[in-house]
A = this chain, B = another copy of it.
Amino acid sequence: MKYYQKPGVYITGVGQLKVEKTSELSIRQMGASVVKSAMKDAGVEKADAIFLGNMLSGMVSNQEQLAPLVANEAGLKGTEAINIEAACGSGGAALRMGFMAIMSGMCDTVVVCGVEKMSHEDKDFITKSIATASDWEKEGGKGETFVTLNARLMQMYIDKYDVSPDNFAMFGVNAHKNANINPNAMFHKEISVTDYINSKFLTSPIRLFDASPICDGAAAIVLSKYPSASNNSPSIKITASASSTEYIAIGDRSNPLAAEGIQRSGNKAFNMAEITANDVDFFELHDAYSIISTLSLEAMGFAKQGEGWKLAFEEEITPTGKIPVSTFGGLKGRGHPIGASGVYQAVEAYLQLTDRAGANQIKKEANVGLIQSVGGTASTVFTHVLVKEA
């Protein structure tokens, strides 16, 4: 890795906590821990700003204005620190703000952090809190949850394309297999297709192994205007950052299965990076539910409409496949601490592209990574392209 002085937006260090059902750390400690480890990895002691992705802290931890609290806890008193919220896409949103901050010329070094503490004794309260990411008037307030909303999408898909729910099995199998060898993952247990088929329906057709878990987690990356001179923390360039939105309520969309928000965000990102789906070596997608993975693969051009599930079925999403996804376990296996997931994706893509992914390293050479963070049932979508430079 050489030292360039070509300005851009580079990831120069990463930090993450193991995803857990319940972290012993407070939410500020969780955030501070990964901010400090990412800065240590990047070899920097100061940052111009911190952008923090989080959705639930106000409701669950009675703590708004979390970003300066995390900055202070990390010893960065005085540093600009702002909370960014885009529901389950909050991590991707924080990354996009960090990207813009560097591009603006106003910041040379930025920390992007995602943190979520979802552990709570009252599970119904958490389910309801997550449902505030839906259109509350039209969905959450009428009793819908993210399980029932995704079940609607999945049933629409099954009906339209005449596929069996069993055909989605390999998304969960791949995620759990990759999580099993990731020390930072929540789950360390492989599952078989039979386990998937025997798992209970949360809301038909969504099975337990179609859904990501409620958990605590935090991750952070350092973004810099220039690549790092350090061999310990090689630099990866972010060549595209793009976002788009869609109607939040599924019932308002003309064609929910087209996932137009993903399409628009993805097209913008591919145009900016001047690549196509063919150039992508792996895809950290938002596999909160198997149906979202399927729609993402289709909307991003990796499969035709109605055939996204086939990539999983034919094992093309595994670390040896055509388009590896969820290489560290994804939202399902590593875990989905909501506002942190988009930043975990960036950490994992960085590790793949710098050959630091250990047992999770994909088998082909990883030069171009795609990451996508999604809020709601694909109503807010952030897409970033990460590239290893020669």
Which of under 10, 10 to 19, 20 to 34, or 35 or more describes the interface residues of A?
35 or more
A227: min CB distance to chain B, Å:
19
Residue in B closest to A77 when the chains form the complex, CB atoms: B247
Give the residues from 116 to 150 in chain A that come closer than 8 angstroms, CB to CB, to chain B.
128-129, 131-133, 135-137, 140-141
Assembly CA distance A69 to B334 (angstroms):
30
Give the residues from 201 to 255 in chain A that come closer than 8 angstroms, CB to CB, to chain B.
241, 243-248, 252
Within 8 Å by CB of A106, from B59, B103, B244, lies B103
| A59 partner residues in chain B, CB cutoff 8 A | 58-59
Verify A58–B246 contact, CB threshold 8 A: no
Assembly CA distance A93 to B67 (angstroms):
12
Is A84 interfacial (CB-CB < 8 Å)? yes
Assembly CA distance A99 to B49 (angstroms):
15
| A15 partner residues in chain B, CB cutoff 8 A | none
A242: min CB distance to chain B, Å:
8
Assembly CA distance A103 to B105 (angstroms):
7
Segment among A312-320, A346-354, A372-380 that sits at the interface with chain B: A372-380
With A58-B58, A137-B26 known to touch, is A65 a contact of B79 (CB < 8 Å)?
no
Is A261 interfacial (CB-CB < 8 Å)? yes
A10: min CB distance to chain B, Å:
15
Q: Give this chain's copy count.
A: 2
Q: Per-residue CB proximity of A36-75 to B under 8 Å, as 1/0?
A: 0000000000000100000110110111110111011000
Assembly CA distance A370 to B250 (angstroms):
43
| A58 partner residues in chain B, CB cutoff 8 A | 55-56, 58-59, 129, 132
Verify B261–A78 contact, CB threshold 8 A: yes
| A84 partner residues in chain B, CB cutoff 8 A | 82-85
Residue in B closest to A51 when the chains form the complex, CB atoms: B97
Q: Per-residue CB proximity of A13-30 to B under 8 Å, as 1/0?
A: 000000000000010100
Q: Per-residue CB proximity of A83-126 to B under 8 Å, as 1/0?
A: 11111000001001101110111100000000000000000000
| A99 partner residues in chain B, CB cutoff 8 A | 104
| A93 partner residues in chain B, CB cutoff 8 A | 82
Assembly CA distance A85 to B86 (angstroms):
11
Is A260 interfacial (CB-CB < 8 Å)? yes
| A246 partner residues in chain B, CB cutoff 8 A | 68, 77-78
Verify A80–B245 contact, CB threshold 8 A: yes
Assembly CA distance A134 to B264 (angstroms):
39
Within 8 Å by CB of A68, from B67, B101, B248, lies B248
Is A81 interfacial (CB-CB < 8 Å)? yes
Verify A380–B78 contact, CB threshold 8 A: no
Assembly CA distance A113 to B63 (angstroms):
23
Verify A96–B72 contact, CB threshold 8 A: no
Verify B68–A245 contact, CB threshold 8 A: yes
Verify A136–B62 contact, CB threshold 8 A: yes
Within 8 Å by CB of A64, from B55, B65, B77, lies B55
Assembly CA distance A106 to B240 (angstroms):
11
Q: A68-B379, A99-B104 are in contact. List 16 more A-B contacts (CB 8 A).
A: A55-B64, A56-B58, A58-B129, A61-B136, A65-B87, A65-B133, A65-B248, A68-B248, A68-B376, A68-B380, A72-B245, A79-B244, A80-B243, A82-B96, A100-B104, A104-B104
- List 26 A-B pairs, Cβ < 8 Å: A58-B58, A58-B132, A61-B136, A62-B131, A62-B136, A63-B132, A64-B87, A65-B85, A65-B133, A65-B379, A68-B248, A69-B135, A72-B245, A77-B245, A77-B246, A79-B244, A80-B243, A82-B380, A83-B84, A83-B85, A84-B84, A84-B85, A97-B100, A100-B100, A103-B105, A103-B106
